[in-house]
Structure 1
Amino acid sequence: MDIKKEIVKTLKDLLLKAHAHVSFAEAVKGLPAELRGVVPDRLPYSIWQLVEHIRIAQADILEFSRDADYKSPRWPEGYWPKSPAPANDHVWQKSLEQIKADTHAFIELLEAPEADLFTPFPYGDGQHLFREAVLIADHTSYHTGEIIAVRRLLNAWK
């Protein structure tokens, strides 16, 4: 058995498939445009803000993993959109497409023949591809759970 292949397959499953709940793609599928920017009572974020946060954080991890000179946004303001709603449907779709594209770009890093999943990057603080893949999967899963909860609160789950 090729252990690297098995590990990469497992990481791909974590990044692309549903586990504790539906996948990110299913969680945002069919969401009415008028509900994307609604912040439910006593909750801090709209679905748009959660989607954008996922996009920004994932892009940050991707760029950090492939570019030693990359500079992350300032925390926390650089990771959360100020507006509760996307400007229009094009902006919403572009964000969803970027999340998908960045997920696949990260998978390409994992699948590269020269990829070493466990050797720490020569920069950073002990991070390596395996850790960053699990971080993306965990972060996306966590906020997907929030998206599902907000949809249910808004009676927008179909």
Structure 2
Amino acid sequence: MSDQHDILIKELIKLLEGGGAHATLEDALDGIPADKLGIKPHGLPYSIWQLAEHIRIAQWDMLEFSKDASHQSPKWPDGYWPKETAPADEAEWNKTVAAIKADRKAFIELLKSGDIYAAIPHGEGQSILREALQIADHNAYHTSEIILLRRLLGIWK
């Protein structure tokens, strides 16, 4: 690989992991009291739980699409959002947070493994590069919403 390619991969990983220009998703999800996960403050449409679970579902979908021609995406938009406002219990919350991290790690391994510019054979012109940028953009957008909810709930640093 060329030096430019290596630099791009490193920068994409930093972008996916967050924290360059803003708080990381891990920062946003850390230390939230369980009783606050399902609150929709000030009439906002989503709770912290729903945003985190939406991030998990969307990121998982982009990962699976990128590597599996037989993957079936959830139905838009309902399949990308949980109906419940809060997780059933702490174990479900922890499972969601762990899945977000594991799927991001798996995508980063995919990013390192091949031609990021090539069209995904079963796609409509998408590439691994495009999917990486989309995951990073999507996660950053919703991370900021989680932080806003935390501010409204008085639980942000």
Gaps of 5+ in 2: none
Aligned pairs, number: 156
Question: Among the aligned pairs, what percent are the same residue?
Answer: 53
User: Partners of 2:125 and 2:85 in 1: how far apart?
Assistant: 35
- Distance in structure 2 (CA, Å) of the matches to 1:134 and 1:146: 19
1:21: Cα distance to partner?
A: 2.1
Q: After the TM superposition, which parts of structure 1 deviate over 3 Å for at least 4 consecutive aligned residues?
A: none
State yes or no: 1:59 paired with 2:73: no
Q: What is the CA–CA distance in structure 2 between the aligned matches of 1:57 and 1:139, rounded to whole Å? A: 8
Which residue pairs with 2:155 in the alignment? 156
Cα distance in structure 2, aligned partners of 1:157 and 1:3 = 38
TM-score (norm: length of structure 1): 0.96
Matches within 5 A, 1:59-138: 59-112=60-113, 115-138=114-137
| AA partner of residue 143 (structure 1) | H
Unaligned runs of 5+ in 1: none
What are the Cα deviations for residues 11-37 of structure 1, in whole angstroms up to 9, with x where unaligned?
Answer: 100011313420000011111110000
TM-score normalised by structure 2 residue count: 0.97
- Richer in helix (by share): 2
RMSD across aligned positions (CA): 0.9
CA distance in 2, matches of 1:54, 1:20: 19
Match of 1:143 in 2: 142
Query: Which residue is 1:49 aligned to?
Result: 50
- In the alignment, the residues of structure 1 paired with residue 144 and residue 21 of structure 2 have an alpha-carbon distance, to the nearest angstrom, of 9
